[in-house]
Amino acid sequence: MAGQTLIYKILRHHLADGNLRRGEECRIRIDQTLCQDATGTMAFLELEAMGVEQVKTELSVQYIDHNTSQFGPENHNDHLYLQSVCAAKGVWFSRPGNGICHQVHLERFGVPGKTLLGSDSHTPTNGGLGMVAIGAGGLDVAVAMAGKPFKMMAPRVIGVCLSGRLRPWVCAKDVILHLLSILSTKGNVGCAIEYFGPGVASLTVPERATITNMGAELGVTTSVFPSDDNTRAFLEAQGREAAWQPCSADPDAEYDRLIEIDLAELKPLAACPSSPDLIKPVAALQDTPVAQVIIGSCTNSSLKDLMLAAEIMRRHKVHPQVSLAIAPGSRQVMRMLADNGGLSALIGSGARILESACGPCIGQGMSPASDEVTVRTFNRNFKGRTGTAHDQCYLTGVESALMAAIHGRMVDPTTCSIQYPEWQMPEAFDTDDSMLIPPPSPAQAQKQKIVRKETVGQPPQCSPFPHELNGEVVIRVGDKTTTDHIMPAGVFLKLRSNIPEYAKEVFNCFNEPGKPTFAERAVSVREAGRQGVIVAGESYGQGSSREHAAICPMHLGVRLVLAVSIERIHAANLINFGILPLLFKAPEDLDKINQGDTVLLPDSPGQLSSGPEVELTVITADHRRFQLSCLHQLSEPDVQTVLAGGLLNLP
Ligand code: MIC
Ligand code: SF4
């Protein structure tokens, strides 16, 4: 029998139900959960609706890192709700200013060999520590906090064998951008990535975390590195040596697909506008004028990243045509940078220092000028995510971003004459946890009053799925439609706990001036007693885990999404909120359906329960009628969830 992959070793250890056979459904025990505020408010409202008194995980943490700009009372109202509900339910609370959830979790909580479920798609960042860390919708995380196992498909494992060592000026970000150039952002549903090989030992934990972080862009379920001496060194320096345990795949582990990467052969790369898989060497972009550079986000804002920035900017000034902004990933990073003089070097160079939070990564300020190039060390560059409709956003590692900040144009960093500053992991990080509030004793928790200001809404409600669906196509969208396109963040992020208001913005990037908006069209379909239908191409629902991309369409009466393919987290969110995800049996049928067409699904309980095939009738706007064969990938419990109108309607 072949040896085991690390992912399967960890999954086997956590198996609660089902078989660990690739492609089959299983349920795994979740040791830790994390939530961030933009998804956490809804997750906790759902947890309350489920009647859970105290969370049942080993550890659950709520971070405030996304909605920290606080224009108007909404964000702070959410923070107060979250702080109080965490105290009532037994959850750690990371206060605003303490940093980005994934970075802080890596520093203070992640444990090799454990499972982590987070209501954020970049939760696999902690795979850099040897965890099976998975992103999910808020409701799935609430269910895990309630102590129930997480339902997932046992993944196909892509083994990535690393050899060699990165050359100076080539960085961990280039590893994952290279992988994105091979695997792209679509077609990887049901896969997971495991890194192994002699090159692993040359990468520090923060570098590994950069790589696992952007596995989210590939659409894989999780990405994992082994836990080795570097992991131990990192945990020791965090004062958490007791959390270390070694874990790795068996030497003869078999992978479903093998990719080999010689780190020494990689070049500095960039993801070009407007998808993380449009990869070019920075050399091919040489001399492209750049107006803005931002270093930060959960991908590239560790102490290692920012010390590199500080060491280089100590001897350089920001180009007069460039605005350089820096958002340290955590308070720990910010403080160590301040104490060792790095912050002063950055300020001296002309950099603008931002809060330790997601900030510009989620469109909270720093939107670039129209059509000007912004170079960011982030993980997503979907059109408009910067807050500027006509943005030109490139994603690179810190090295290439700094070159752009100094020269005002793209420069391949391997061609520069600057000495590459080597970084040594500190023997001890600053481990002041005073911004982390631990859960009180259960007795104290019982006395905790939950603060519920007027803008903190209600958990969503949905009626059972209609026996005979009489739908109308409210929109038809193309390939790679992301959850940012479905439910914009940026200035609308503050509406996350107010579904009726937020729902007005569904698909707002496709609204045309003078014509009814998506929300208005959906509401007229709903008022006519019919159900809304969304038709989409490949890889629908890429990107963010925001369950609002299901909840808000559901609020507007959408009950069916018909697509060529649907990404994992979004498909789960649709089911959780009573929307039926169906796939075209023949992808070319996509071209036969248009906005305004009628879609009939007779006998939904019978059709959904009798196998994967579903027959629809389509009546086009010009009265042509035809049958359309579709497929569903729902398990029997999923079918029951959709028919009940979502998970919250089930006992
Ligand atoms: C993102 O990077 O898109 C976010 C904002 O972190 C999301 C979560 C959200 O929409 O609140 C994610 O990655 O899941
Ligand atoms: Fe925050 Fe950006 Fe990371 Fe999402 S990708 S968690 S918005 S820093």
- Model confidence at 56: pLDDT above 90: yes
Nearest residue by C-alpha to atom 7 in ligand 2? 362
Residue 338 structure tokens: 């301040």
User: Can you give the pLDDT at residue 91?
Assistant: 98
The confidence score (pLDDT) of residue 423 equals: 84
Ligand 1 atom with minimal separation from the 216 CA: 13
Ligand 1 mutation pick, 105, 117, 300, 362, max ligand atoms within 8 A of CB: 362
- Model confidence at 422: pLDDT above 90: no
If we measure between CA atoms, which residue out of 543, 642, 582, 88 comes closest to residue 277? Answer: 543
d(C-alpha 62, C-alpha 119), whole Å:
10
- 50 contacts: CB under 8 Å, gap ≥ 6: 142, 143, 146, 648
Which segments of 478-571 are extended strands (E)?
531-536, 558-563
- Mean pLDDT (the chain, rounded): 97
Q: Atom 9 of ligand 1 has which residue's CA nearest to it? A: 546
- pLDDT bucket at 2, cuts 50 / 70 / 90: confident
> Which one-letter amino acid corresponds to residue 493?
L
In angstroms, rounded to a whole number, what is the distance separating the alpha carbons of residues 485 and 450?
33
Residue 168 is predicted with a pLDDT of: 97
Atom of ligand 1 nearest to the CA of 487: 10
| pLDDT per position as a tens digit, 307-331 | 999 999 999 999 999 999 999 999 9
> Residues 93-109: pLDDT tens digits?
999 999 999 999 999 99
Ligand nearest the Cα of residue 210 is 2
Q: How far is the CA of 545 from the centre of ligand 1 (A)?
A: 6
Whether the CB of 379 sits within 6 Å of ligand 2: yes
Per-residue pLDDT, 541: 98
Res 44: pLDDT: 98
* Residues 403, 399: Cα–Cα separation, whole Å: 7
Between 261 and 424, name the one with better pLDDT: 261
Residue 392 near residue 384, CB atoms below 8 Å:
no
Residues enclosing ligand 1, CB less than 6 A? 38-39, 66, 120-122, 135, 362, 489, 543-546
The rounded Å distance from CA 96 to ligand 2 centre is: 14
Q: What is the pLDDT of residue 1?
A: 73
Q: How far apart are CA 396 and CA 534, in angstroms?
A: 34
The pLDDT, as a whole number, for residue 607 is 98
Q: How far away, in angstroms, is 123 Cα from ligand 2 center?
A: 10
In the prediction, which pLDDT does 523 show? 98
What is the structure's pLDDT at 415?
A: 97
- The C-alpha angle with vertex 647 and arms to 644 and 649, in degrees rounded to 5, equals 55
Indicate which atom in ligand 1 lies nearest the CA of residue 385.
3
- What band does 509 get if pLDDT is binned at 50, 70 and 90? very high
**Nearest C-alpha neighbor of 375 from the set 308, 310, 297:** 297
When pLDDT is averaged across residues 508-527 and rounded to a whole number, the result is 98
Task: Locate all alpha helices (DSSP H) within 50-149, ordered by sequence.
Answer: 74-89, 101-108, 138-145
Backbone phi, psi, residue 201, to 5°: -65, -20
Ligand 1 test: best mutation among 41, 42, 120, most atoms within 8 Å of CB?
A: 120
Q: Which residues contact 77 (CB under 8 A, 6 or more apart)?
A: 453, 454, 455, 456, 497
Q: How far apart are CA 272 and CA 603, in angstroms?
A: 46
- pLDDT tens track for 371-388: 999 999 999 999 999 999
Cα–Cα distance measured from residue 647 to residue 140, given in angstroms and rounded to the nearest whole number: 9
Residue 39 Cα to ligand 1 middle (Å): 8
Q: What is the pLDDT of residues 165-177, one digit of tens each?
A: 999 999 999 999 9
Please report the pLDDT score of residue 95 as a whole number. 98
122 C-beta closer than 6 A to ligand 2: yes
Most ligand 1 atoms within 8 A of CB, residue of 546, 552, 573 to mutate: 546
* Res. 520: pLDDT tops 90: yes
Task: Please state the rounded mean pLDDT for residues 622-640.
Answer: 97
Measured from the Cα of 296, ligand 2's closest atom is 8
- Structural domains in the chain, sorted by start: 6-265 (3.30.499.10), 269-413 (3.30.499.10), 469-646 (3.20.19.10)
Q: In the prediction, which pLDDT does 149 show?
A: 98
Query: What is the pLDDT averaged over residues 441-452?
Result: 97
Q: Whose CA is nearest to atom 6 of ligand 1?
A: 120
Sequence-distant (6+) residues with CB within 8 A of 347 are 353
Predicted confidence band at 234 (pLDDT cuts at 50, 70, 90)?
very high
pLDDT in tens, 568-619: 999 999 999 999 999 999 999 999 999 999 999 999 999 999 999 999 999 9
Place of tokens 């890596």: 106
Q: How far apart are CA 386 and CA 364, in angstroms?
A: 8
Q: From the CA of 163, how far away is ligand 2's center (Å)?
A: 29
